[in-house]
Amino acid sequence: MNLDLDAETTQMCEVVTAFARHKLAAPPDFGTRDFRQRWRAAGAQGVLGTTVPDGFGGLGGGAVTAAAVMEALGYGCSDAGFAFSAAAHVFACLTPIAEFGTEEQKRRWLPPLAAGELVAAHAVTEPDAGSDALRLSTRAVREDGDWVLSGAKCFITNAPVADVFVVQAVTAPGGGYFGLTSFLVEAGAPGLSVGPRHAKVGLRGSPTADVHLDGVRVPPGHVLGSEGGGASVFAYAMRWERTCLPAVYLGVMRRVWEQTREYARERRQFGVPIGDFQAVAHRVVDMLARLEQARLMLFRAARRLDAGQADEVAPALAKLVVSEAAVALGLDAVQVRGALGILDGEAETLLRDALPARVFSGTSDIQRNNIARALGLGARH
Which residues participate in catalysis according to the annotation?
241
Residue type, 56: F
Q: Please, which residues have CB within 8 angstroms of residue 20's CB and are 6 or more apart in sequence?
A: 72, 73, 75, 76, 77, 83
Query: Three-state SS across 36-49?
Result: HHHHHHHHHHCHHH
Q: From the CB of residue 259, how many other CB atoms can be counted at a distance below 10 Å?
A: 17
* Coarse DSSP helix, strand, coil percentages of the chain, rounded to the nearest 5 percent: 55, 15, 30
| Cα 133 from chain centroid (whole Å) | 18
Residue type, 292: E
The rounded distance, in Å, linking the Cα atoms of 279 and 53 is 49
- Are the beta carbons of 208 and 157 closer than 8 angstroms? yes
The rounded distance, in Å, linking the Cα atoms of 75 and 70 is 8
Closest CA to 304 of 242, 248, 373, 357: 242
The rounded distance, in Å, linking the Cα atoms of 224 and 101 is 6
The rounded distance, in Å, linking the Cα atoms of 70 and 65 is 9
Antiparallel, parallel or unpaired: β 164-170 and 120-123: parallel
